[in-house]
Amino acid sequence: MAQIQQINGDYYGSKETLTEALPYTKSDNNYNAAINNFFGIADKELSIYDDAVFYYKQALKDATDSVSKQSPLNNIAVVYIKQNKIDKAISILESILNKKVLNDKDPSIIRSKSRVLDNLGFAYFKNGNPDKGLKFMNEGLKLRNQSEDFYGSIESYLHLAEFYAKTDVKKSNQNAQNAYQIATKFHSIDERLKALSLLISNGSGTQYVQKYISLNDSIIKIRNNFKNKFAKIKYDSKKEKDENQKLKLEKAENLLALQEAKYQKIVGIIFLIFLGIVIVVLVRYYKNKNRIIRIKTAYDTETRIAKDIHDELANDVFNAITFTQTQPLSVENTKETLIQKLDHIYTRVRGISRENNDIETGVNYSDNLKEMLSTYNSKSTNVIINNIEKVIWNEIDEIKKVTIYRVLQELMVNMKKHSHAPLVALTFDSDQKFVFINYADRGKGAEKNKIVKNGLQNMENRILAIKGTITFDTEPDKGFRVNIKLPK
């Protein structure tokens, strides 16, 4: 529609129609390029040259290949010629000619090349280089005639008419008449007016003045009528479209009401059946899930107890038995040593029992946690507990309390087995949203990539399960540090 309006000289109407088309072309660069090119043509014909260059450059950005870039580039050069920016125009046109794509034998490529040659020649002429300009303009006209681009030859004849206007009036008039005859054949009013204007400026007779006035008055009247007719066509089309859309909508609403009444009961029954199935499935799922969790927890506990008994308690018992078999029990010192060994075994049994007992999460949780941590105090290890009372433990749910207890217990066991730290410090803190626990010891430490991962992985999994974070930091001979952050 916009293109038809431009053909009929309605450039403002064309821009309005192009604006309506824009929302439909966001995902297609080919259409975007075409629309911006048409915007540029409209502004060029309306002598709004800066805007024309802007739109041609937008079309250039949206062009998808080197061939489609040639048209907006050429159009930019044409505007630069009209703005008397001749050097810029020549630079663009020469860059187009240097492209290998214009060596193609395709008719459309030949027409594009002839247009560029003609415009380049006209630019050289305007830049004070008439010989070079005439050479290129003649080459362009020759290519146009060979490719039977007769409509394009109108522009060549008009350029040659202007070229000869001051040096050879006869040749100028001949070229202007050629342009007029071909433009008349193609019903191209604007080109006919340009040709008549050149003939008039050359003083070729009053008959051309009369033709110009008559043709100009006629085209103004025709274009005004066209604008009104086109506006009415657009209005009638929109009105008919809106009415059809309204009828379709009413019909669809009636059908929907009938179908809704028909299927409402069926949908209700299906929904109730589906809801019942979902409830049954969810109940079974959560029962199985809880059973699996209990089984896994029991298995993990049993595995840990078995490992503790095998790795630690069994060795101590075996050593005690060996001691009784090899040492005379009648000696007082031997009895004392045996009692110490048995007491050590008893302490270990109590430790294993304590590590696997149920955890009190009520009002005595803080005291129990502090007591558990304090049991790791010994002659060789000093455990310092800071600010445990600052945390309001009754604001934290039971699962998180159990997790904190087990993680800290594993940390202390890890310290006792691996770090052998002389000093351990645990610092507690909290704010409105989070609880913070910082652990640090002055034990052996280790390289980060050589940390024994099993126990640490258990701690990490426990903390992640309650949406918290845990980080480990250690270096050889620089101790072991753990930072825990978890939501209340």
428 has pLDDT over 90: yes
Summary mean pLDDT of the chain:
84
Residue of 242 and 180 predicted with greater confidence: 180
352 has pLDDT over 70: no
Q: Mean of the pLDDT values across residues 326-342?
A: 75
Rounded CA-CA distance 482/415 in Å is: 12
Three-state SS at 207: helix
**Helix and strand totals (H; E) in the chain:** 17, 5
Q: What burial class does residue 404 get, using C-beta atoms within 10 Å of its C-beta: 0-12 exposed, 13-18 middle, 19+ buried? A: buried
**Do the Cβ atoms of 488 and 434 come closer than 8 Å?**
yes
Residue of 360 and 184 predicted with greater confidence: 184
Report residue 333's pLDDT band, with 50, 70 and 90 as the boundaries: confident
Rounded CA-CA distance 37/158 in Å is: 23
pLDDT value of residue 341: 73
Rounded CA-CA distance 426/440 in Å is: 7
Tell me the pLDDT tens digit for each residue of 296-329: 555 565 566 666 666 666 667 767 777 777 777 7
**Do the Cβ atoms of 441 and 424 come closer than 8 Å?**
yes
DSSP state of 23: G
356 has pLDDT over 60: no
pLDDT value of residue 118: 95
pLDDT value of residue 362: 86
* Residue 155, token pair as written in the block: 């522009």
Q: What is the DSSP string of 249-313?
A: HHHHHHHHHHHHHHHHHHHHHHHHHHHHHHHHHHHHHHHHHHHHHHHHHHHHHHHHHHHHIIIII
43 has pLDDT over 90: yes
How much is the CA Rg of the chain, to the nearest whole Å? Answer: 47
**Do the Cβ atoms of 134 and 172 come closer than 8 Å?**
no
* Residue 225, token pair as written in the block: 């009528």
Tell me the pLDDT tens digit for each residue of 58-70: 999 888 777 788 8
pLDDT value of residue 304: 64
Query: Given the DSSP bridges, would you call strands 382-386 and 480-487 parallel, antiparallel or unpaired?
Result: unpaired
Tell me the pLDDT tens digit for each residue of 160-194: 999 999 899 999 999 999 999 999 998 887 888 89
Report residue 293's pLDDT band, with 50, 70 and 90 as the boundaries: low
Tell me the pLDDT tens digit for each residue of 382-395: 999 999 998 999 88
436 has pLDDT over 90: yes
Query: Which of 201-205, 296-300, 354-358 tops mean pLDDT?
Result: 201-205
What is the model's pTM? Answer: 0.46
What percent of the chain stands above pLDDT 90? 39
pLDDT value of residue 54: 95
How far is C-alpha 373 from the chain's CA centre?
Answer: 50
Q: Mean of the pLDDT values across residues 205-228?
A: 74
Tell me the pLDDT tens digit for each residue of 396-424: 988 899 999 999 998 998 888 888 899 99
Q: What burial class does residue 482 get, using C-beta atoms within 10 Å of its C-beta: 0-12 exposed, 13-18 middle, 19+ buried? A: buried
Identify any residues that bridge with 485 across adjacent strands, giving them in sequence order.
Answer: 436, 469
pLDDT value of residue 239: 66
Q: Which amino acid is at 47?
A: S
Residue of 240 and 146 predicted with greater confidence: 146
pLDDT value of residue 321: 77
Rounded CA-CA distance 303/455 in Å is: 13
Query: Given the DSSP bridges, would you call strands 480-487 and 469-474 parallel, antiparallel or unpaired?
Result: antiparallel
456 has pLDDT over 90: no
